[in-house]
Amino acid sequence: MKKILITIVIAATLIGCSDDDQKSYPPPTTGGSGNEVGTAQIWVTSGDESRLLSAQDHLSIIDNKETSYPSITINETEQMQEIEGFGAALTGSSAYVINNLSTAQKNSLLSDLFDVESGAGMSYLRLTIGASDFSLEDFTYDDMPQGQEDPNLDNFSIAHDEMHVIPVANDILSINPEVKFMGSPWSAPAWMKDNESLYGGKLEEQWYATYANYFVEYIQAFENHGIPIDAITPQNEPLHTSGYPTMRMEAQEQANFIKNALGPAFEGANISTKIIAYDHNFDEAGYPMTVLGDGEANPYVSGSAFHAYAGDVSAMSQVHNAYPDKGLYFTEISGGEWSIDFSSNLRWYVQNILMGSTKNWSKNALFWNLALNENHGPTNNGCQDCRGVVTINSSGEIEKNEEYYAIAHFSKFVRPGAHRIGSSNFDDNSGLDGIAFQNPDGSKALIVLNETPTSKTFSVIMGENRFDYTLSSESVATITWE
């Protein structure tokens, strides 16, 4: 009989409970109701932080699928979207605080973040094309004095990014060459905009072709540094303007820019980088539907990207159902001082962002700043109390925040090229939730969340075999098997 090796990762979370959640289950069986056909290895992260990805005793897998516990059944023949990766944004601020560490500290941190074996194995990063609200200063790659223009982009330069972003990105790729990069601009150069400012305003139509070439120059410049840009969005948060680099771009304007300039420019330059529409909140699903609904823009667009600051994650499924041949991407959410409870934050991220987005067809899930300092910065007139995936104190001390552990429970075990696979739902009153994936090497990964403040025993059914486990209160488990 073939032995099955299973790995389980557990992270703690917090939520209120109903009366039904209070019922307890007996401890799981360990082979008495069937023959052992494999073992399970377990790591645990607790909401009280007493255990952080720490290894636990092994458990048994048995050749009996009958169970009285709440159960989830895996169906690997049902293959859904391909997963491209999990990670965060390597903003200018993030790159700066990382790059100012000592060589030993930086190597250790990047291994903790990106090494598949010893760390979280993060596999996808978002870059800002020019400055954002988390950069050291305002800039684009072609800034000109007031009243001057540069239609041939003779002044184009990525010198700002050559200081910190590019060196850190190259360090990351040396640790994990699988990492994908997505680029998103916060603003076009001011001279291309109707208000001649990096703050707000719109891209003037006369500069569509020039701005499209700006993207081509960006992709080629990063490629020359050994950093392939897998995807871009034409505009970060196109329905938002503020006192930091931003630019308004309505849905039909984005469709026009893509079909008349950006798509043809990529085609002409033999650029294979994906064009991803929208890149804003769940509450405006009509925006990407408008872009995809434009018959001339649609062929150039690979998918749509969403943020989670407004609306519901089900918007992603709404777009998927209308355009099932296009990809979905989740590209931004940030934690901060407005919510500082480790346990409740971890539960929310796992359920709403990581499970939520992938259950609604997302091919990735990205958080905002990869790293910030203890003062939530450096900032560039944006959020003053955002939290990075890790915090790097001025002393060099590094704190892994709840965002780190939430991502790690997916990124370490659900590898690029994995597919979401079929899994049944736990009973509604069980307080349990789950999602399953199959990796390119054929191994499976199942994430199970116990939302309640009481421990829950559940069964995982895989064909004729089953695995029982008592999951501690407010915890999430990732299970992998061959």
- Return the closest-CA partner of residue 113 out of 99, 102, 101, 124: 124
Q: Active site residue: 237, 402, 451, 474, which one?
A: 237
237 flagged as catalytic: yes
DSSP letters spanning 460-477: EEETTEEEEEEEPTTEEE
Q: Active site residue: 84, 253, 284, 332, which one?
A: 332
How is residue 100 written in tokens?
């100012």
223 flagged as catalytic: no
Task: Name residue 209's amino acid.
Answer: A
**Residues sharing a CB contact under 8 Å with residue 117, sequence separation 6 or more, in sequence order:** none
**Residues sharing a CB contact under 8 Å with residue 309, sequence separation 6 or more, in sequence order:** 281, 332, 333
Angle at 85 between CA 232 and CA 106, to 5 degrees: 90
**Residues sharing a CB contact under 8 Å with residue 418, sequence separation 6 or more, in sequence order:** 82, 83, 437, 438, 439, 440, 445
State whether residue 252 is helix, strand or coil.
helix
DSSP letters spanning 53-122: SEEEEEEEEES----SS-EEEEEEEEEEEEP-EEEEE--HHHHHHHHTS-HHHHHHHHHHHH-TTTS---
8 A C-beta contact, residue 96 and residue 136: yes
Q: Is 360 exposed, middle or buried (0-12, 13-18, 19+ CB in 10 A)?
A: buried
Residue showing tokens 């109701």:
33
8 A C-beta contact, residue 28 and residue 59: yes
How is residue 21 written in tokens?
């959640």
8 A C-beta contact, residue 202 and residue 148: no
Catalytic (active-site) positions: 237, 332
